[in-house]
Structure 1
């Protein structure tokens, strides 16, 4: 059965009820001490069923197939497009197939979009969501061995696509079918103003001596347009303020490079889209055990995703993003890796 946000957070009414504070940043890593069971995560087929069910329920939601994976799986785009003149934001998840809790959060956000709490918000902003770009990697349906991966259950999940290629290093040459689908049928087709690229990082990054729940970064290529960079930093301010102020979130600055093969940089330059990388703590599966986070942290990571998406949409819809204070970037510490106890 697919993972449930409500079950993970032991919620009663609202998906925005705060998870247990001590779980954030301090949730246990794998360390060989627990089973990492992938059966609690949506499979590709379960995700497709979920999306089609939500499309039938939500009159302003539309599904579009943007292409196919190496193994022939349809790749989906979720659209809330009330007015072509509205500013548009794209949420991109699971370029890396073993980084699935952002997808789980995106699916819960889609459900949230159909609730009364979001009534009228989408009248002033267009929302695009690619909920699983690397469908083959997410299903472990690849042409290389995953025998050393940690997770058990229905499947292993891997960073790479079926050809063992990192999709987030393919945004210049665009060789892989998944990357081609994204660029041809999303980036070049729609007039997108903002993008948040959602990922996962390792478990031991810290800021100010405290383990982070995630990290963010704007485009760092010197070729980015100054206005695009400004708006990227404003988008980051919205996300930082929403998550870091909760009392359970703790965000650092990601230590990222300037290569334009990476979506954060390449898409900002090629299309003039303001981009933000958001890396959540820990991964759903990996061959390197310290990267895998124990499942007791799943709930807060999903909530962190929903919080970021909700805040971004609302800030764009009411134009408050244009007044976002970017001065925090000047003092936000770049995360470092906590030394191992071993």
Structure 2
């Protein structure tokens, strides 16, 4: 049944995910944040999501097909799963961007989008881009959480399917709160990220891809996602400005499509959070992108029905594609960042009970 279900999902998304033909036709009605959530009539099925084993098989096949791609194992999870990074490095002097997904194991649609983007990079239509920007993609940092293979009970998680997906790693630690620790004191997944990526590669830009709850809104409309630059006061102002430019590329790309609606994320300033700690430690321009809705959670209002998968995956692909193009052609240097001055923080829509 699992293979049949995944085939059906692939067919339902094929019109949305065909690169080069991204039109609003085929998007679900109400794609501007208004997809179904757990409180509606939509079931939540984790069995349609890519498993860790399927991800590894996919990445290995893409590496065989793509001359420009190299697959690297950067470390292991608590449970011993290899953590993979796809690399496109044509010239070490080029600016380098890192895309990171699934620090939180229950936030998977960005991983599905990253997989689509990797396939796109092998189509031969991106040679000029790959000549001018280096791309690193870690599509599943928290593989144990993504597989529900953890050292604590998942009975309170609400999704149906072949597994539960947990926010934390197998040790019940939030990997996105590890970023101010000495590297040798970090959880295995975070330590691998630091020792074998940040300490090894000269990275200029990072987009940290997450999911948030379903009820955030801006200007009275539910958002399809939200963004934020580093807000720790000790981050170099020049790095903050470059981070705002990265966010500007994403904002203008998504808002221009008509089906995306972004808010400003109301996030903390602690240096233990990825966008802050990484910017502070390495002078990397960082952007947090929180897509709407999670794949599993203990809170029903956090989880989105699978009819929303298509536009959220597409939003991820557009984000990755637009940023690499802007870095490659240099347009990121002159992008208009003035929208940050007026973009309001998203708010939480009151529940029906309230």
Q: What range is the shorter-chain TM-score in?
A: over 0.9
1:143-193 residue CA offsets vs partner (Å, 9 max, x unmatched): 000011111111000000000000000011142000000000001100000
Distance of 2:7 and 2:99 partners within structure 1: 20
Question: In 2, are the aligned partners of 1:196 and 1:278 still within 8 Å (CA)?
Answer: yes
CA separation in 2, counterparts of 1:182 and 1:222? 24
Counterpart of 1:98 in structure 2 is 106
Aligned counterparts of 1:90 and 1:10: Cα–Cα separation in 2: 26
Corresponding residue of 2:267:
256
> Aligned pairs, how many?
342
User: Quick one: which of 123, 133, 141 aligns to 1:133?
Assistant: 141
The partner residue of 2:11 within 7, 21, 26 is 7
Matched, 1:234 2:245: yes
Aligned mates of 1:34, 1:14 — CA distance in 2: 25
Are positions 1:163 and 2:174 aligned together? no
Residue range with higher mean Cα deviation, 323-332 or 108-117: 108-117
Distance 1:124 1:8 in 2: 34
Change (3 A) 1:121 1:3: farther
Residue 350 of structure 2: which of 316, 339, 342 is its match?
339
Cα 1:5/1:234, change in 2 over 3 Å: farther
Q: What does the per-residue CA deviation read over 1:252-277, in whole Å, with 9 as the maximum and x for residues that have no partner?
A: 00000100101100000000000000
Cα drift, residue 318 of structure 1: 0.2
Instruction: Indicate yes or no: 2:180 matched with 1:172.
Output: yes
**2:290 match:** 279
Give structure 1 regions of 4+ aligned residues with deviation exceeding 6 angstroms. Answer: none
Contact 2:213 2:302 in 1 (8 A): yes
**Where do 5+ consecutive residues of structure 2 fail to align?**
none
> Equivalents in 2 of 1:228, 1:3: separation in Å?
43
Partner Cα distance (2:179, 2:77) in 1? 16
Of residues 117, 120, 124, the one that matches 2:132 is 124
TM-score norm. by structure 2 comes to 0.94
1:108 matched to 2:119: no
Residue 217 of structure 1 corresponds to: 228
CA contact (8 A) 1:229 1:274 kept: yes
Which residue of the partner structure matches residue 313 of structure 2?
302
Supply the RMSD in Å over aligned alpha carbons.
1.4
Give the 3-state SS of the residue equivalent to 1:287 in structure 2.
Answer: coil
CA offset at residue 14 of structure 1? 2.8
Relative distance call for 1:263 and 1:5 in structure 2 (3 A) is: farther
Match of 2:44? 36
In the alignment, is the contact (CA less than 8 A) between 1:21 and 1:248 conserved in 2? no
Does residue 80 of structure 1 match 2:119?
no
Matched-pair contact (CA < 8 Å) for 1:87–1:193 = yes
Is this contact kept in 1: 2:70–2:87, CA < 8 A? yes
Query: What secondary structure does 2:209 align onto?
Result: strand
Tell me which moved more, 26-35 or 166-175.
Answer: 26-35
CA contact (8 A) 2:28 2:308 kept: no
Say yes or no: does 1:22 pair with 2:30. yes
Supply the distance in 2 between the matched residues of 1:272 and 1:84 (Cα, whole angstroms): 18
Rounded to whole Å, the distance in 1 between the matches of 2:344 and 2:350 is 17
Q: Is the contact made by 2:28 and 2:307 (CA closer than 8 Å) also made in structure 1?
A: no
Partner secondary structure for residue 15 of structure 2: coil
**What is the aligned partner in structure 1 of residue 329 from structure 2?**
318
Contact 2:17 2:314 in 1 (8 A): no
Deviations 1:197-225 (A, max 9, x none): 00000000000010000000000000111
Partners of 2:17 and 2:111 in 1: CA distance: 22
Residues 1:58 and 2:70 are matched in the alignment: no
Cα distance, 1:10 vs structure 2: 4.6
Residue 190 (str. 1) matches residue 201 (str. 2): yes
